[in-house]
Chain A
Amino acid sequence: GEDVEQSLFLSVREGDSSVINCTYTDSSSTYLYWYKQEPGAGLQLLTYIFSNMDMKQDQRLTVLLNKKDKHLSLRIADTQTGDSAIYFCAERGFTGGGNKLTFGTGTQLKVEL
């Protein structure tokens, strides 16, 4: 079955880089996603990576994928206080006739001045 794991907390200083890590189990996953959730809000898609890629960069965000180790990371450059939120990684898998996302428990990022 699918299982996605993340560390629970990360604290960084404003201006530093943040790296949030995730491990997943479903080797058949084709897409892996990073979502951001602010207090009381829904999920905002930050970025995604296709399983045949090793890296994807999107402005301040860099996603690295190690498919052999089933390890995914999200690097946020020049972290700002507005980046404080919970970050979820998710793998896309199959269910019945369609697709579903399996989420990790989320990493709470706290950005300090």
Chain B
Amino acid sequence: ETGVTQSPTHLIKTRGQQVTLRCSSQSGHNTVSWYQQALGQGPQFIFQYYREEENGRGNFPPRFSGLQFPNYSSELNVNALELDDSALYLCASSLEQGATSDGYTFGSGTRLTVV
């Protein structure tokens, strides 16, 4: 059973640029959630994808968007990058929108630095 894999592991971008982060969900999981973890903070919920549609969103602006593919993998896109977007971005996969007791399996994250 494979876990959650994220790519790339590290990324440096310039303010104003756009970035795409990728996530492959754990085998058997059909739901993907994205979290932003700023330095010294707990992860903050960005959004969740289920059946290729966004079905829940946290307090993040529209320049944060995503996709889910038929194989349940997902992308997080951030447009017009700001310095405050520098963070660890975590992908979590789950079964049935996180409704089961198993909870969520997290990837190791993508460390994004905006300069």
Q: Interface size class for chain A?
A: 20 to 34
Given contacts A45-B104, A45-B105, contact A96 B56 (CB under 8 A): yes
What's the least CB distance linking B22 to chain A, in Å?
15
A104 x B42 contact (CB < 8 A): yes
Q: Is the CB of A98 within 8 A of B42?
A: no
Mark out the residues of chain A between 24 and 49 whose CB falls within 8 Å of any chain B CB in the assembled complex: 31, 33, 35, 41-45, 48
Are the CB atoms of A99 and B106 closer together than 8 Å?
no
B97 at the A/B interface (Cβ < 8 Å)?
yes
* Distance (whole angstroms) from the CB of A1 to the closest CB of chain B: 10
Interface size on B, residues (CB 8 A): 31
* Other-chain residue from B31, B41, B43, B45 in contact with A95 (beta carbon distance below 8 A): B45
Contact at A100–B98, with CB atoms within 8 Å?
A: yes
B16 within 8 A of A: no
B102, chain A: closest CB distance, angstroms = 8
- Which chain A residues lie closer than 8 Å to B54 at the CB level? 96
B58, A105: Cβ atoms under 8 Å? no
A43 touches B58 (CB 8 A): no
Partner-B contacts on A (CB < 8 A): 4, 31, 33, 35, 41-45, 48, 50, 88, 90, 92, 94-106
